[in-house]
Structure 1
Amino acid sequence: MATDIKDAAQAVDAASVMRLVPARPRLLALGEPTHGENALLELRNELFRQLVEQEGYRTIAIESDCMTSLLVDDYVTSGTGTLEEVMERGISHGWGAFAANHELVRWMRAYNIRVDDEGRPASERLRFAGFDGPLEITHAASPRQALTALHDHLAAHVDTDLLPCTADTLDRLLDADDRWTDPAAMMDPSRSVGQSAEARQLRLLADDLVALLDQQTPHLLAATSRDDVDRARLYGRTATGLLRYHFWMADTSPARMSRLCALRDSMMAHNLLAVAARGPVLAHAHNSHLQREKSRMQMWQGPVEWWSAGALVSAQLGAEYAFVATALGTIRHQGVDTPPPDTLEGLLYALPEDRCVIDAPRLATALGDTRPVPRVSPWFGYAPLDPARLADNDGILFLKDVPQR
């Protein structure tokens, strides 16, 4: 058994990852079982650089606000702003402060500038995307930014008579942004404005604006550019997604949190599909967002489950979607010590390598009916892999010990 497991292990590099799948995937998803560890982000950066240089990947998409991430993309493609500004404002959840994220964005910008300082052709430039909605665990953003940006784009290029409303009407219906972002609404549905008369009208207007964008696509492509139209579609997805999310924040049924989690991952999935439409992408997020199976979480109201973004994208892309989960041995600074030997992580911890890539289906075959027991984490911030779903992964990236940085 030990020999079979060792035979399934390979070096951590892009070539090893590509050998896990029959052909280069359009969307290669790399998961992580915990957030905020620079060692994991550095591994991601290393793989992305190799995928760019060896496999023709040009885009990385991370679990960050899709709207603010536009600032980072503008910086890496055209130098707009400064590194410090875009890291502070362009990456959500506070992750712009991590050194490995700084290094990623700095390297991408440097790559896009050729030796002659003229810059690479647009088709060769690296692109950065966030694929999360403008959502935090405590609240959801106001739909103002996305909705008004979509309206402004259409107002600048189509006949005014075709617009379903004016900018002033949107402003009046939106009212103060803090009505939308009240953190009390996450725990108390009665504090949400998502089912108010104004919010219901905004949902209809947002739908009409997105429909108008679709109807005017040939004209908009001629008048602007593919990138501009893609950005307007992002505004539309975000506006309708946020209004839908706010509507269900006001729900009082037992399914409320399952529905909200599902809506978030649905927004993620649509953003990933849109990014993948322009070429191969490395996506990086928590394992629970990228796995092919349902995600589950224990919340204050009890257990919730929903289909992950990875499951939704896999259903669309089929073999063009690949998922490599990351598993860890120890995170000692968080109280996660050596895994028990009868767990999946314990079996991998016994390998001599400090890090390796595992062919997950091959490992599942080697284990046969002798499946490891699930590991129990003493720290809420780390989620071990489910050994019963091992074969649903294309691969596992295993890191034996996560150092404190």
Structure 2
Amino acid sequence: MTIHSALSDACWAFTDDAGPAVTRLLDTLPVRPRLLGLGEPLHGEDLFLRLRNRLLRHLVEHEGYRSVALESDCLGGLLVDAYVAGGPGSLDDVTARGVSHGWGAFAGNRELVAWMREYNLGRPEADRLRFYGFDAPTEMMYAASPRQSLIEVRDHLAAWGDPGQLPDDAALIDELAGADDRWTDEAAAMDPARSVGSSPEAVRLRLLADDLRALLSAQAPRLLAAAPEADRWRARLHASAAAGLLRYHAVMAAASPARYARLMITRDTMMAENLLAIEAREADRGPTLVFAHNAHLQREEGHWQADYLDQTLTWWTAGAIAAADLGERYAFVATAVGAIPHRGLGAPAAETLEGVLAALPDDRYLLDGRRLAAALHAAELEPVRRSDNTDDRGYFPRDPAHVADSDGILFLRDVPADKP
């Protein structure tokens, strides 16, 4: 039996009209997911973003999706969401400040934000699309100060809650946090001694963040009756971000062999908390498309051998953590690629998973992950993990041992540099 014949009912050509393939994949799932994760194998390719945009349009028009969540700063996402809801500002400014990691400059992300704003025009609030970032407020070499988030929570409680219950330390946030550049010192990423995360001020802020977060829960009935839903969402997001940032900075300050793994764990835990909060908020409106690196959305443990470390980092990913809570309400589609010549990735070897898929007749497929695993077994194929690399250390080939852990696999035979 050839792999192609074994896959006859488990793979669908992924054309410019992505709708039929997506619907067929969703029809194979036990239930329609509340969070549908779409992963990319490396960052920086507009093709992945444009395919995501096509997928989202189909899901909005045919499957009732009303939101998208990107691997981008969750607090910056508030700015983008206000813009797509019809708020003031320019596309240039909003994507530059609201989409982190420099990804606001990519055409695919700009097209997404512009399309969402256009779609929302004239629609009732309940039917508008929402934009979320679900990443921690971090960049490659630093994490943000918790100061502004703590102030946001304090001001929300003062405006809508019982001001008499605010902790005495709430007025000291600015003094304790100090200048924001104390927290964003890039040297602290590699040198724990440069981090302020274990300072007496940071420890006191961490206790204060816990107190303010507890007050949001304690005063929930009053806030529910008085404060607009958007304000309550914003306050809870800032409370979670402040607590997470202070945990992250504390790990940065720890001179431990496990420091880098713990930073990965802390970041993905914050991501998962944000995803679960988004799913809960959107429960009455519709499902959410989640877009990030495969390594954040996969169900299995993450593994990364960084070239500047003498160890392999292992952590439970945001997708794995969210799936532990949501079960079948979480689904994951991984993207696998054959060649990306302009990034130094040539054609895959025939014995790899990507090499097996590249032998199929069409260039792009959406495959049922579990049926693909069964088809490989039926065809007596045991693909090996791809070992060649690209010029970008952020490329992670799909692990053949975990094909069945993906609800779907989007396979692209090649990724051209000059066309979608």
Give the TM-score, by structure 2 length: 0.93
Q: 1:56 aligns with which of 51, 55, 64?
A: 64
Structure 2 counterpart of 1:382, from 386, 395, 415: 395
Name which of 311, 321, 326 aligns with 1:312. 321
Question: Could you say which residue in structure 2 is the equivalent of 1:296?
Answer: 303
Secondary structure class of the residue paired with 2:131: strand
User: Counterpart amino acid of 2:277?
Assistant: A
Shift of 1:242: 0.1
Deviates further, 364-373 or 142-151: 364-373
C-alpha contact (below 8 Å) 1:16/1:357 kept by paired residues: no
The one-letter amino acid of 1:17's match is L
- Judge conservation of contact 2:153–2:238 (CA < 8 Å) in 1: yes
Aligned residues: 400
The residue type equivalent to 2:409 in the other structure is I
1:363 aligns with 2:379: no
Q: CA offset at residue 167 of structure 1?
A: 4.9
Residues 170, 208 of structure 2: 8 Å contact kept: no
Contact 2:334 2:406 in 1 (8 A): yes
| Distance (whole Å) between structure 1 residues aligned to residue 161 and residue 98 of structure 2 | 30
Q: State the match for 1:229 in structure 2.
A: 232
Q: More displaced, 172-181 or 154-163?
A: 154-163
Asked whether 1:253 is paired with 2:256, we answer yes
Instruction: Quote the residue 2:336 is aligned against.
Output: 327
Indicate the SS of the match to 2:142. coil
Distance in 1 separating the partners of 2:200 and 2:112: 44
Query: Are positions 1:373 and 2:380 aligned together?
Result: no
State the partner residue of 1:116.
none
Call closer, same or farther: CA 1:11–1:22 in 2, change over 3 Å.
farther
Which amino acid in the other structure matches residue 232 of structure 1? A
Write the distance in 2 (CA, Å) between the matches of 1:327 and 1:240. Answer: 35
Aligned residue in 1 for 2:349: 340
Is 1:111 aligned to 2:119, yes or no? Answer: yes
The offset of 1:297, in angstroms, is 1.1
Aligned-partner Cα distance in 2 for 1:264–1:162: 31
**Which amino acid letter does the alignment assign opposite residue 47 of structure 2?**
A
Correspondence for 1:400: 413
Matching residue of 2:266 = 263
TM-score, structure 1 length as denominator?
0.96
The one-character-per-residue Cα deviations of 1:108-138 (angstroms, maximum 9, x if unpaired) are 111111xxxxx21121100000000111121
CA RMSD of aligned residues (A): 1.2
- Checking the alignment, whether the CA contact within 8 Å between 1:377 and 1:383 is kept in structure 2 is no
SS in 2 for 1:153: helix
CA contact 2:144–2:183 (8 Å) conserved in 1: yes
User: Which segments of structure 1 move beyond 6 Å, counting only runs of 4 or more?
Assistant: none
Q: What is the distance in 2 between the residues matched to 1:166 and 1:195?
A: 18
| Secondary structure of the structure 2 residue equivalent to 1:357 | strand
CA separation in 2, counterparts of 1:125 and 1:17? 26
Q: Secondary structure at the match of 1:169?
A: helix
The CA distance in 1 between the partners of 2:358 and 2:185, in whole Å, is 45
- Is 1:90 matched with 2:98? yes
Q: Which amino acid aligns with 2:294?
A: N
Is this contact kept in 2: 1:20–1:395, CA < 8 A?
A: no
Q: How does 1:104-183 map to 2 (within 5 A)?
A: 104-113=112-121, 119-165=122-168, 167-183=170-186
Gaps of 5+ in 2: none
Counterpart in the other structure of 1:10: 12
| 2:332 match: secondary structure | strand
Structure 1 alignment gaps of length 5 or more? 114-118
Paired residue type of 2:57 = R
Could you tell me whether the CA contact under 8 Å between 2:348 and 2:355 is conserved in 1? Answer: yes
Any conservation in 2 of the 1:361–1:390 contact (CA below 8 Å)? yes
For residue 342 of structure 1, report the CA deviation from its aligned partner: 0.9
Identity among equivalent pairs (%): 56
